Structure 1
Amino acid sequence: MFAYILKRLLLMLPTLLGVLLLTFVVIQFVPGGPVEQYLAEAKAGMGAGGGGAGEGGGMAYRGAQGVDPKRLEQIKQLYGFDKPAHERFLQMLGQFARFDLGRSFFQNKDVWQLIKEKLPVSISLGMWTFFISYLVAVPLGVAKAVRAGSRFDFVTTLIILVGYAIPGFVLGVALLVIFGGQLQWFPLRGLTSANWDELSWGARIADYLWHIALPVTAMVAGSFAVTAMLTKNAFLEEIRKQYVLTARAKGLSERQVLYRHVFRNALLPIVTGFPAAFIGAFFAGSLLIETLFSLDGLGLLSYESVIRRDYPVVLGTLFLFTLIGLVTKLVSDLCYVWVDPRVKFD
């Protein structure tokens, strides 16, 4: 197993390098980079203030037109675009090797600091969605497998498929309109109230749960459908195997057969996907849900970084999330051995 782990760790390096290289190359051909963004803001400022009419003629100002060449060079040097692309890429790799994700062009903060600021929102959404989904999906999948073909199985399958078919943001809009607007049972925005710091600990917990109820409901509605159906199918496949018939023939109760023999084998595909889902919950970002409920999380940070061409944030978060994804995938594969020692990597 040590050789397998070492091999997988070594394979992570070219994978990570390939992802960063491909993204960096694409960025070079995307119009409207940081320098152009800065010049566009300068144009807007000149147009609003009436200055620069003699040089650029107000709205006739385009790009670097009317900008002093020395000032333009200073802007390029500020953003690091005074160097060739290959030098910037190698410099970026050197920073990432030291786990230095760089500094945002437009927010004047380290990328690490931005991630830490946005992470509480994403953790709140992701962790609640993860735990509620698994706590509902696994028992529901077992119950559906035991009662396969019954009315309970049919009704729950219908409900699951309907919930899976409804997009989360559409359900979120409906929840906001009904429970936030008309009934006014829940707040319309934010993760906590404005006076949250003044509340007692009990009131803080209640206020937090009050705010998080609608966005989590919108995200959970369709998230447990795949896990529930996967659990059901895995249990059905194991129940039909010969060892289950043998266990029943020995006089074991249905409960003993189900939880002592079937449960461990059927849970193999569920448990192996557990690490990825658990780690993903920390870094999950739903742009539409965060925008809809005015939650400033990682989803909104990624979207704004792409729109504003904030390349250090785009590449820094990409490096971090890709590295976490690769390590999580390795842990998921190792879970096969933990759940079923018969699995051999060779």
Structure 2
Amino acid sequence: MWPYLIKRLFIMVPTLIGVLTLTFFVTQFVPGGPVDSVLSQLDAEDVRSGEDGSSGGGWSYTARQGIDAQQVEQLTALYGFDRPPLERYLLMLKNFLSFDVGESYFRNESVWSLIKDKLGVSVSLGIWTFVLTYLISIPLGIAKAVRAGSRFDIITTLLVLAGYAVPGFVLGVLLIVLFGGGSFWDIFPLRGLTSDNWEELDAWGKVTDYLWHITLPVTASVVSTFAFKTLLTKNTFLEEINRQYVLTARAKGLSENKVLYKHVFRNALLPLITGFPGTFIAAFFTGSLLIETLFSLDGLGLLSFESINSRDYPVVLGTLYLFTLVGLFVKLAGDIAYVLADPRIKFDALEP
């Protein structure tokens, strides 16, 4: 296994370089870069000043007319666009491989500092979503497999499919309307993970305040994600329950719990581990944007979205850099989990 893991670690480097290279050339050559974004803001301010009757007759943003050419050159040099694309790319690659992702164009702060400030929100939302997804889907899937075809199985299947059919952000809007002071009950807050007086609360008060804030966003995230895992668990257990070794274990007089959790569970666990990396990444990053926006949670998803809109390329590349690193290591952890769940798996046997 160790040679395989070492090889995977070495493969991560070209994979990371490939992702950064593709993103760099996409961001550098799309219309409307950071320079144009600043000029657009200046144009809007100039138009507003003209409407107010103050100085400034208004210059056209198109073709950068009406602005000092020297100022445009200064902005271009400030953001590094006065250098050839290849030089910018090599400099970016050198800095990123040494974990220096640079400074934000518009926030006057280092990218790592921004990520550090926003990471807590995404990690908090992601951990709860990820843990609750598996804590609910695995026991429920096992219960459905044991009672396959019963009324419990049919009713829970309908509920699970209904939850799966409703997108997380739609459920979030419904929860806000019902419990966030929309039209019915004003029970849960709709902004941030803690109250303004959180520092003044005692330990128990801080815990309850945090759980009070996180309830609605986590509910919106979990309901739409655990359905697939529940049905996968059920189908996997049904397939394993019908195998010969289960009949043999029952013939030996083992209790049903021992058969399920000592014999069936380990074999049925492998398909669940297959989806571990994707669920992890979705819970922490890709699925959090709409939830963060809806519940005013200032996390990495919202930071990435705003950075793309404002053409803040260092932040875009920095967040993608982090997402890619986490994704690669989570995939590696999933391979390790294969071996821990089933020691019979040998990665070197798959190599020529």
Q: 1:275 to 1:36 in 2, by over 3 A?
A: closer
Q: Which amino acid counterpart does residue 101 of structure 1 have in structure 2? A: V
Q: C-alpha distance in 2, partners of 1:302/1:154? A: 41
Q: What residue is the counterpart of 1:11 in the other structure?
A: 11
What are the equivalent positions in structure 2 for 1:45-64 lying under 5 Å apart? 45-50=45-50, 57-58=57-58, 60-64=60-64
Q: How many residue pairs get matched?
A: 345
What are the equivalent positions in structure 2 for 1:5-84 lying under 5 Å apart? 5-50=5-50, 57-58=57-58, 60-84=60-84
Q: CA deviation at 1:106?
A: 0.6
Q: What residue is the counterpart of 2:316 in the other structure?
A: 314
Q: C-alpha distance in 2, partners of 1:330/1:194? A: 40
Alignment partner of 1:58: what SS?
coil
Q: CA deviation at 1:194?
A: 1.9
What are the equivalent positions in structure 2 for 1:250-329 lying under 5 Å apart? 250-274=252-276, 277-278=279-280, 281-283=283-285, 286-329=288-331
Q: C-alpha distance in 2, partners of 1:123/1:252? A: 42
CA contact (8 A) 1:172 1:292 kept: yes
Q: Deviations over 1:33-79 (max 9, x none)?
A: 0000111112122222349x9x9841535342122222221111110
Q: Which amino acid counterpart does residue 184 of structure 1 have in structure 2? A: D
Q: C-alpha distance in 1, partners of 2:31/2:153? A: 53
Q: Deviations over 1:189-223 (max 9, x none)?
A: 22222222222222222111111111111111111
Q: 1:209 aligns with which of 208, 211, 220?
A: 211
Q: Which amino acid counterpart does residue 65 of structure 1 have in structure 2? A: Q
Q: C-alpha distance in 2, partners of 1:41/1:138? A: 51
TM-score, structure 1 as length reference: 0.93
What are the equivalent positions in structure 2 for 1:330-341 lying under 5 Å apart? 330-341=332-343
Q: C-alpha distance in 2, partners of 1:276/1:218? A: 18
Q: C-alpha distance in 1, partners of 2:172/2:280? A: 23
Alignment partner of 1:267: what SS?
helix
% identical aligned pairs = 64
Moved more, 251-260 or 307-316: 251-260
* 1:99 corresponds to 2:76: no
Q: Which amino acid counterpart does residue 150 of structure 2 have in structure 1? A: S
CA contact (8 A) 2:59 2:67 kept: no
What are the equivalent positions in structure 2 for 1:136-285 lying under 5 Å apart? 136-181=136-181, 182-274=184-276, 277-278=279-280, 281-283=283-285
CA contact (8 A) 2:103 2:111 kept: yes
Alignment partner of 2:103: what SS?
coil
Q: Deviations over 1:200-252 (max 9, x none)?
A: 22222211111111111111111111111111111111111111111112222
Q: Deviations over 1:96-134 (max 9, x none)?
A: 111011111011111111111111211221111112111
Q: 1:59 to 1:335 in 2, by over 3 A?
A: same
Gaps of 5+ in 1: none
CA contact (8 A) 2:39 2:61 kept: no
Q: C-alpha distance in 2, partners of 1:153/1:237? A: 16
TM-score, structure 2 as length reference: 0.92
Alignment partner of 1:333: what SS?
helix
Q: Deviations over 1:145-187 (max 9, x none)?
A: 1111111111111100000000111111111111112211112
The Cα RMSD (Å) is 2.2
Q: Which amino acid counterpart does residue 99 of structure 1 have in structure 2? A: F
Q: Which amino acid counterpart does residue 221 of structure 1 have in structure 2? A: V
CA contact (8 A) 1:119 1:282 kept: no
Q: Which amino acid counterpart does residue 257 of structure 1 have in structure 2? A: V
CA contact (8 A) 2:282 2:288 kept: no
Q: Which amino acid counterpart does residue 133 of structure 2 have in structure 1? A: S
Moved more, 319-328 or 86-95: 319-328
Gaps of 5+ in 2: none
* 1:127 corresponds to 2:123: no
Q: CA deviation at 1:85?
A: 0.7
CA contact (8 A) 1:144 1:152 kept: yes
CA contact (8 A) 1:129 1:220 kept: yes
